[in-house]
Amino acid sequence: MSLTDYEMVIQQAARLGVCQVALGGGNPNQHPDFLRILELTREEYGIVPNYTTNGTGLTEEILQATAAFCGALAVSAYEPYAEFAAVLGRLISCGIKVNVHFVLDSASIDVALAWLLNPPAYLSGVNAIIFLNYKPIGRGSDITRLLKRNMKCREFLETALGRRSQFKLGFDSCMASGLASCGIADPVWYDACEAARFSMYISETMRAYPCSFMEGAYQGVGLNEDNLLEIWQEALLFRQVRNRLRRPACQECFYVAVCRGGCPVFPEINLCDQGCHSEMGTDFARVDEHCV
């Protein structure tokens, strides 16, 4: 996304009272205008920027800007963990609030469980570990990696929720069906999918989606210099996602009031026996003609 396009988005977001923007797209700190992006977001528009990185390309200038303008920095946990550990140490030494993003799938859950039971020394000093439910989306998608295919899923959740840890533990909303169905997580601490409810995604091609994982499967809604509010309130794709969450298919489930049927877009990632089993593609608009 160009700096001009980015500022157009942030201008509208600021007018609408948006308080935070999460920058992603692989490794956003390698954007040629990244320093300016952080500064104008926080200083000129009063929105707190955060971003996710794989740990490469973190120059001293970027680290200083991160400490000055960002609420937090998320580092994706990748092997080899020695490199990952070095990045964490460097960030923590700079006084940057660091969260770890850990993608949970049928294989990585073993590492995650080991970290909970015996945390590696390099995790000391991190603010939180956020566990993300694997989505079989994109070129590297593999349904065998779905988290629910590993019988240790419940053991992991019970361990995470039942032990006092040296750092905070969090989950993305794609884990809501698992948190609900395990029956030991207090519903006051988690919520259903936030897509089209209090967050949205805008691609580098200036198309808006309720969720970033919809890009590629759905066309999205074209964004211009003055239609962000209209998209949020009126665009068909956004209304469809909200309607799915308002009226999930699994009404008989005891936990439906909290998890709202799990993921409204990709039901195959749900971690419960109920879940919203209908396929979104059969009744969601693949091409949103409103606001395009």
Domain positions in the chain: 181-292
With cut-offs at 50, 70 and 90, classify the pLDDT of residue 286: low
> What pLDDT score was predicted for residue 14?
98
Phi, psi of 165, rounded to the nearest 5 degrees: -115, 160
> What pLDDT score was predicted for residue 13?
98
Q: Which residues, 6 or more positions from 95, have their beta carbon under 8 angstroms from its beta carbon?
A: 67
Tens of pLDDT along 82-92? 999 999 999 99
With cut-offs at 50, 70 and 90, classify the pLDDT of residue 202: very high
The pTM assigned to this predicted structure is 0.89
> What pLDDT score was predicted for residue 199?
96
With cut-offs at 50, 70 and 90, classify the pLDDT of residue 285: low
Q: Which residues, 6 or more positions from 49, have their beta carbon under 8 angstroms from its beta carbon?
A: 20, 21, 23, 37, 38, 41, 42, 69, 70, 71
> What pLDDT score was predicted for residue 232?
97
State the chain's maximal CA–CA distance in angstroms.
Answer: 54
Q: What percent of the chain has pLDDT over 90?
A: 71
Q: Nearest to residue 260, comparing CAs of 269, 251, 268?
A: 251
With cut-offs at 50, 70 and 90, classify the pLDDT of residue 163: confident
Give the residue-averaged pLDDT of 99-118: 95
Q: Is the pLDDT of residue 30 over 90?
A: yes
Q: Residue 1 has what DSSP assignment?
A: -
Contact 86, 108 (CB under 8 A): no
- If one compares 229 and 290, the residue with the highest pLDDT of the two is 229
Q: Is the pLDDT of residue 150 over 90?
A: no
> What pLDDT score was predicted for residue 279?
44
With cut-offs at 50, 70 and 90, classify the pLDDT of residue 255: confident
Q: How far is the C-alpha of 239 from the C-alpha of 229, rounded, in Å?
A: 13
Q: Is the pLDDT of residue 166 over 90?
A: no
Report the phi/psi class of residue 25: left, alpha or beta, with left for phi > 0 and alpha for psi in -120 to 50: left
Give the residue-averaged pLDDT of 207-219: 94
Q: How far is the C-alpha of 269 from the C-alpha of 135, rounded, in Å?
A: 6
Tens of pLDDT along 35-79? 999 999 999 999 999 999 999 999 999 999 999 999 999 999 988
> What pLDDT score was predicted for residue 284?
61
Q: Is the pLDDT of residue 186 over 90?
A: no
Q: How far is the C-alpha of 72 from the C-alpha of 129, rounded, in Å?
A: 12
Q: Is the pLDDT of residue 280 over 70?
A: no
Q: How far is the C-alpha of 159 from the C-alpha of 168, rounded, in Å?
A: 13
Contact 241, 283 (CB under 8 A): no
> What pLDDT score was predicted for residue 274?
54
Lowest pLDDT segment from 122-131, 172-181, 182-191, 270-279 = 270-279
> What pLDDT score was predicted for residue 281?
45
